[in-house]
Structure 1
Amino acid sequence: MATPRKTSLLLGLVALSLLSIASAEIFFEERFDDGWENRWVKSDWKKDEKMAGDWNHTSGKWNGDPNDKGIQTTEDYRFYAISAEFPEFNNKDKTLVFQFSVKHEQKLDCGGGYMKLLSGKVDQKNFGGETPYSIMFGPDICGYSTKKVHAIFTRNGKNHLIKKDVPCETDQLTHVYTLIVRPDATYSILIDNNEKQSGSLYTDWDILPPKTIKDPEAKKPEDWDDKEYIPDPEDKKPEGYDDIPKEIPDADAKKPEDWDDEEDGEWTAPTIPNPEYKGPWKPKQIKNPNYKGKWKAPMIDNPDFKDDPDIYVYPNLKYVATELWQVKSGTLFDNILVCDDPEYAKKFAEETWEKLKDAEKAAFDELEKKREEEERKEDPVDSDDEKEDDADAGTDSDAEKNAEADIEDVDDDAHDEL
């Protein structure tokens, strides 16, 4: 049983936690409930080309709560662009938290699920892929090679991509992506409330030149020995080593009965590799007693580096948006949050995603089960015959897999160029 002192301490910590959450500053929070259309502007980007896709307000084909709706892309081979405005703010001396959930119901082969924060004045009706942004964040999937989380910061008109690899989720369920940027220029990237990457804006992006560089004037000393191993001077070539032939006549070979020496010439036995032959002789290698290691130029202060204590600051954040090209539609965004408190964002994710994830997974599994049953009804195949066919066609299946891999490589190359 807890003592009165422990109980009091526990209640105090709970109260402190609730106070912290209550004091969180919420710059933008969108659950896509009634009236969401009044807060968002659908862009006319690509509309003249008849390539603009429309959004659907829905909870999707499977969900944890049919009343928990987001916005979903609806047409294949279309561009999508939409944005919402919030009161402009400056994140100087504040932690910036950018969080949203995304679900790829279409089993995405190649496409993004990222969102953007924009600064200053934006023409929302013409917002599109060329519109400058401040931060771009979220998952990107394309083939086998690209399954990562984008985290891009824009400075002086240049986009800086994160240098670390952050794998994203690739299934057809809802996942929550969170970016946290702190005033000390550190960051964290979370997926489903679990930290996947962290570090510093100084080191994990090339926003500023590096603080130190290799001394361009430094040269390796002439007496620097960087050979880790050397030939053993005591090792001597065995006598007769060079006399061992590489090939020898095949002792088991016999002259063919129809061999005619006059017509075919004198018969000689064919040669075979000599099992005694060991190749050109080389002395064994030993540790070099004079080895000093691999030489590296010393690091010096970079004369081009100028510190920017505001490297994390965006003074005019004013819009949240997304713009996508979708070959296969079905991506659904929901529960978007911009605030200054990671603990509030965690609780927000727990309330909007975690308590529904098991029900969503159950709904998805049930639909998959029904789909598989329908497929079996439409195309009944004896399981034993199918197994035999699969075994006989093993080589063909491998070839098909290799061909599919080649096609994916081509798709990946096209995605990288984009």
Structure 2
Amino acid sequence: MTQKLNILLLLALAFQAKRVCGENAAVPNDGSSGKDSPASALVSDEPKHGVSLPAFAPFSVPNAAFWEQFAGGLEPHWKGSQASKDGEEEARYSGEWAVEEATELVGITGDNMLVVKSEARHHAISAPLDKPFDPAPHGLVFQYEVKLQNNLNCGGAYAKLLTAPLSGEFSDATPYTLMFGPDKCGDSKVHLIYRHKNPVTGEYTQHHLKQPPTPPADRLTHLYTLVVHTNNTISVSIDGSERRAGSLLEDFEPPVNPPKEIDDPNDKKPSDWEDEEKIPDPDAEKPSDWDEDAPLMVTDEDAVMPKGWLENEPLMVEDPEAEKPSDWDDDEDGDWAAPMVPNPRCAEADGCGPWKRPLKRNPDYKGKWTPPLIDNPRYKGEWAPRRIANPEYFEDLEPYKLAKIGGIGFELWTMQSGISFNNIYLGDSIKDAAQIAKNVWEPKHDAEIAVRDALNPKPPKVEKSKTSELLELLKIRLADIALSIGSFYDALQRDGVAVALREERSGAIASAMAASGLCWLVWNLLAFVRLLRGSAVPAQAPSRASTAKDASSNSNSDAAAEAATTSARPDGGSGGAAVKRKTAKSDKS
């Protein structure tokens, strides 16, 4: 018996170990014991999504002012900054950069990217153009890829087109011509800012795109495209789809061109200027019967204590079900007392304890007296400073002629690592940007979607029929009606019919009454139909008797008549004999 129990115990332990460990506890098939084998030899970390990925192939853009695929790494073209943010010695650009392949939702093999490697750091890196790019002749097209491998809770992924000529180490103080790209820290938006030089003062002003589009926040590679046309219009696209169009002259804040006139900063409102349209009547006097000290609320002397009020019942009583704990020591813990609970008698009564008359609004209350308002005889209207010509006014109708660009940089603060940039294009060809999107970005993006769907397959969608949906809604409604009727019944017993009807808001009572009325109507209709059928049956019997012609029908008719005669006799005794005599007579004939 003991041996059988031991065998059963060993089997149970083995079954439990298999459930806990599963396939991960499989013994290596290379003949080793597995003790010194790495974890990757037991469980593979590589997702087996089964998607065939395209391989990286260099793409040429001969006429680009700048084209970067990071096939040659960082050095010597890209240089990380070791400077500090302007005016912040502690905020040094200490974030690390690397050129490497993607690690999340890989859509292409052998494809290097510029990757942010540090969290909660300031990052800055830049690369110069071979020669300055001038947007004036043909406009500007700027496009690049962004992949948020670790998502983005707070940080930037925007690029800066640096103003030529470049000087000093790259930082936030480096002048830029245009800033473009996604950003998320609080609000999520695609930045578009351009700097414009005031020809009068020589100062630069930042102009921000109003109502910028919202960027996607997944881990796929997304393509951001900016086009600045020579007619001052702009276009912002994400993944080849235009998300915002506008004008450099009309859709940026502040506007490029300042107003012709401004308020005179030296103009001050005169001391005797009256801009109050109404003033208190100086001749008004408070009425002699006006009592400012009268209280807002007074005791209602007409109130009567409800009949169900229990004046001698306390609101709280000792819990009758409470028991003194067995370990309670009166010497150490003091005298034990049961905890207090609400008085159950008060729940059924109109109230408990000493009754006080309620308060009501004081009919004599008037509050603080103030004189009435009258028209101000010295009113001159709302004062505004006089308008003067703007000394800094200018009119630039060609803001698309941006300052020349000498380099591209990423100057970011981010709480997440893994922000990746790739396939950076700067030029003036919309056609080249479209070819890059079609031949470089699109195959990668499609493969990433396939990998994502393979790793996270969507469950099949089960469509409910309309009948099941109606039945479900009916079931929910009936449950609501039942609950409301129960609440109505409790309120009816507790507060009376008036309060119960006033508190009933769900329509349950009306629904129940409508259902009852419908049932009553159907029942009466059925009863009326039965009445009509019953009155029609005697009228059909003579017709059947008069149309019977064969012998069988005559016999049946005679038998029916004889039965009717028998039933009409008080004793009913000779009915059977009469039938027998008639039957015998028929047999003889």
TM-score (norm 1): 0.59
Q: Aligned equivalents of 1:117 and 1:250: distance in 2?
A: 83
* 1:184 Cα deviation from its structure 2 partner: 1.1
Q: Which amino acid aligns with 1:111?
A: G
1:209–1:305: 8 Å Cα contact kept in structure 2?
Answer: yes
**What does 1:26-65 align with in structure 2 at a 5 Å threshold?**
26-34=64-72, 37-45=75-83, 51-65=94-108
- Alignment deviations for residues 238-286 of structure 1 (CA, whole Å, 9 cap, x no partner): xxxxxxxxx9958966443539xxxxxx96665799xxxxxxxxxxxxx
Change (3 A) 1:255 1:182: same
Matches within 5 A, 1:181-200: 181-200=228-247
What's the counterpart of residue 83 of structure 1?
126
What residue is the counterpart of 1:8 in the other structure?
none
Task: Extract unaligned runs of 5+ from structure 1.
Answer: 1-21, 217-246, 260-265, 274-296, 370-418
Q: How many Å separate the matches in 2 of 1:323 and 1:139?
A: 13
Matched, 1:119 2:163: yes
1:157/1:349 Cα in 2 relative to 1: closer, same or farther (>3 Å)?
Answer: same
Q: 2:193 corresponds to which residue?
A: 152
1 CA distance for matches of 2:158 and 2:416?
A: 16
Given the alignment of the two structures, is residue 134 of structure 1 paired with residue 172 of structure 2, yes or no?
no
Q: For 1:177 and 1:133, how far apart are their aligned partners in 2?
A: 19
Cross-structure match for 2:145: 101
1:330 Cα deviation from its structure 2 partner? 0.6
Equivalence for 2:222: 175
| Per-residue deviation, 1:68 | 2.2
Q: Distance in 1 between matches of 2:144 and 2:412?
A: 16
The aligned counterpart of 1:208 is 256
Partner of 2:416: 328
2:425 to 337, 347, 350: 337
Give 1:74 shift. 1.2
Residue 352 (structure 1) aligns with: 440
Amino acid at match of 2:233: T
Alpha-carbon displacement from aligned partner over 1:314-336 (angstroms, at most 9, x marks no partner): 24211111111222211000010
Pick from 73, 84, 91 the counterpart of residue 116 of structure 2: 73
Shift of 1:27: 1.1
Identity level (%): 31
Aligned residues: 289
Say whether residues 1:163 and 2:213 are aligned partners. Answer: no
CA distance in 2, matches of 1:267, 1:57: 82
**Contact 2:226–2:237 (CA under 8 A) maintained in structure 1:** yes
One-letter identity of the residue aligned with 1:317 = I
- Per the normalisation by structure 2, the TM-score is 0.43
Matched residue type, 1:42? G
Contact 1:112 1:139 in 2 (8 A): yes
Contact 2:99 2:112 survives alignment (8 Å)? no
User: Does the 8 A contact of 2:188 with 2:215 survive in 1?
Assistant: yes
Aligned residue identity for 2:173: E
Structure 2 CA distance, aligned partners of 1:250 and 1:318? 91
Pair 340,24 (structure 1): closer, same or farther in 2 beyond 3 Å:
farther
Deviates most, 99-108 or 203-212: 203-212
Indicate if the aligned counterparts of 1:100 and 1:176 stay in contact, CA closer than 8 A.
yes
Paired residue secondary structure (2:71): coil
Specify whether residues 55 and 250 from structure 1 end up closer, same or farther in structure 2 by C-alpha distance, changes over 3 A only: farther
**Which residue identity does 1:30 align to in structure 2?**
E
Which structure has more RCO (C-alpha within 8 Å, separation ≥ 6)?
1
How far did 1:310 drift?
2.9
Q: Determine if contact 1:51/1:77 at 8 Å carries over to the other structure.
A: no
Displacement after TM superposition at 1:197 (Å): 0.8
**Distance in 1 (alpha carbons) for counterparts of 2:450 and 2:111:** 16
Q: Which amino acid aligns with 1:256?
A: L
1:91 is matched by which residue type in structure 2?
A: P
Contact kept? 1:117, 1:321, Cα under 8 Å: yes
Displacement of 1:98 in angstroms is 0.9
Task: Work out whether residues 43 and 128 of structure 1, in 8 Å CA contact, stay in contact via their aligned partners in 2.
Answer: yes
1:32/1:71 contact within 8 Å kept: yes
User: How far 1:62 sits from its partner (Å)?
Assistant: 2.5
Within a 5 Å distance, the mapping from 1:259-270 to structure 2 comes to 270=358
Determine the C-alpha separation between the residues in 1 that align with 2:396 and 2:304.
78
Name 2:312's counterpart in structure 1.
258
SS state at 1:39 partner: coil
CA spacing shift, 1:363–1:253, aligned 2, 3 Å: farther
Q: 1:250 to 1:310 in 2, by over 3 A?
A: farther
